[in-house]
């Protein structure tokens, strides 16, 4: 990705993530191989104050994976890494087996 990223057009009062619409960011995450919709929803709600549902996130993750529904957000490597790290942490916290490993 280039150092200069093009911002996705969004409405003035709409929430954004790194200046892009949430759906375009979700498509980019899908293209990057993210599949856990519940983790994406949790990260978006807590870190970015974006309200969304598991179903819509699943739809746009799949669309990003398949290159459908428009281009994804042009995120920098740093931005993509920040999101994927937060999602990975959320997946770890959702996994009960992780708690057993920590306790042992």
Could you tell me the residue ranges of all domains in the chain?
22-103
3-state secondary structure of 47: helix
CA distances from 86 to 13, 32, 70, 71, 90 (A): 25, 14, 25, 23, 6
Determine the Cα–Cα distance for residues 12 and 80; give it in Å rounded to an integer.
24
What's the pLDDT at 7?
55
Q: For residue range 24-64, what is the model confidence (pLDDT) as tens digits?
A: 999 999 999 998 888 899 888 877 888 888 899 999 999 99
3-state secondary structure of 21: coil
Answer yes or no: pTM beyond 0.85: no
Mean pLDDT score of the chain, rounded to an integer? 82
What's the pLDDT at 48?
82
Question: Tokens representing 29?
Answer: 């995450």
């Amino acid at each position: 990705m280039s150092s200069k990223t093009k911002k996705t057009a969004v409405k003035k009062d709409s929430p954004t993530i790194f200046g892009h619409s949430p759906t375009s960011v979700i498509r980019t995450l899908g293209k990057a191989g993210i599949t856990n919709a519940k983790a994406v929803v949790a990260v978006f709600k807590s870190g970015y104050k974006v309200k969304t549902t598991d179903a819509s996130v699943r739809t746009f993750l799949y669309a990003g994976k398949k290159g459908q529904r428009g281009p994804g957000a042009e995120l920098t490597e740093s931005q993509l890494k920040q999101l994927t790290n937060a999602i990975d942490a959320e997946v770890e916290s959702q996994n009960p087996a992780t708690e057993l490993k920590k306790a042992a």
